[in-house]
Amino acid sequence: MSGAHESGGEKPPTKFELRRAKTRSDLLGLGFERFRIRGYGRTTIEDIVRDSGYTRGAFYFHFDSKEQFFLEVLRHRKEIRGRWWEVLDSDAVTDLPSALITTSQEFDRTDPNGGVWTLLIAEFVNENSDKPEFVEPLRELYGEWLHELAILPRTLQERGWCRTDLPPEILAQQILSITDGFGLAYRLYDTDVSALFDAYVRILEPR
């Protein structure tokens, strides 16, 4: 007698496993929406599950704390962004400016309100600065985001549209720092951010 699992195949997920995965995904989606409304500090577990059909018990089945949940929501943002770098293969991308415009439009489409997330992360760090069990995972996430964002300058370098005197990871760090700075100034002071695109070009243009 032979079966799927004898031949090395995996058993399909059970209804319980599928339901559990959906609950976790739904909760992360709620966190993505509701942290942006009330901020990190003011958002409670009750705020997250309110009017969702889920309970505090369901939340704590999947997540140990609000802190751990917030870190998972940040990871969830990566899934929401998807394979954003594929837009660089668009026919509309013909030089550095068009590459930056197309990439920015894709981020605006999949993960808007970046300035809000800058503030949320700052709140999280402020409340947990003395708790390495939360700060260290955040630093790891930051490193993962830099590694992913480095795809942009690396691709531009390969096409001859970007400076090559600095490695892609350093350029990605500069891009992210400028983006966070402009986003923070806009959220706090309603500062005009029209110069952001020019700043990107000045950082990345070939030397």
List the structure tokens of 11: 């058993």
Report domain extents, the chain: 66-204
pTM of the model: 0.88
Query: Which of 168, 191, 118 is CA-nearest to residue 203?
Result: 168
Q: What are phi and psi of 57, to 5 degrees?
A: -60, -40
* DSSP H helical ranges for the chain: 15-38, 45-49, 56-62, 66-81, 96-110, 114-128, 132-149, 151-158, 168-189, 196-204
List the structure tokens of 180: 């966070």
- Cα–Cα distance for residue pair 137/169, rounded to 1 Å: 19
- Cα–Cα distance for residue pair 116/97, rounded to 1 Å: 25
Q: Residue 162 has what DSSP assignment?
A: S
Q: Which residues contact 5 (CB under 8 A, 6 or more apart)?
A: 11
Question: What pLDDT, on the 0 to 100 scale, is given for residue 7?
Answer: 53
Question: What pLDDT, on the 0 to 100 scale, is given for residue 77?
Answer: 92
Kindly report the length of the chain.
207
Question: What pLDDT, on the 0 to 100 scale, is given for residue 88?
Answer: 98
Q: What are phi and psi of 37, to 5 degrees?
A: -80, -45
Per-residue pLDDT tens digits of the chain, which is 207 residues long: 445 455 556 789 898 899 999 999 999 999 999 999 999 999 999 999 999 999 999 999 999 999 999 999 999 998 999 999 999 999 999 999 999 999 999 999 998 888 899 999 999 999 999 999 999 999 999 999 999 999 999 999 999 999 999 999 999 999 999 999 998 898 889 888 889 999 999 999 999
Amino acid at 172: A
Amino acid at 27: L
- Cα–Cα distance for residue pair 15/42, rounded to 1 Å: 35
Q: Which residues contact 178 (CB under 8 A, 6 or more apart)?
A: 196, 199, 200, 203
Among 1.10.357, 1.10.3470, 2.40.30, 1.10.10, name the CATH number for the domain at 66-204.
1.10.357
How far is CA 90 from each of CA 13, 21, 106, 136, 156, rounded to the nearest angstrom? Answer: 37, 34, 12, 37, 13
Q: Which residues contact 7 (CB under 8 A, 6 or more apart)?
A: none
- Cα–Cα distance for residue pair 95/192, rounded to 1 Å: 26
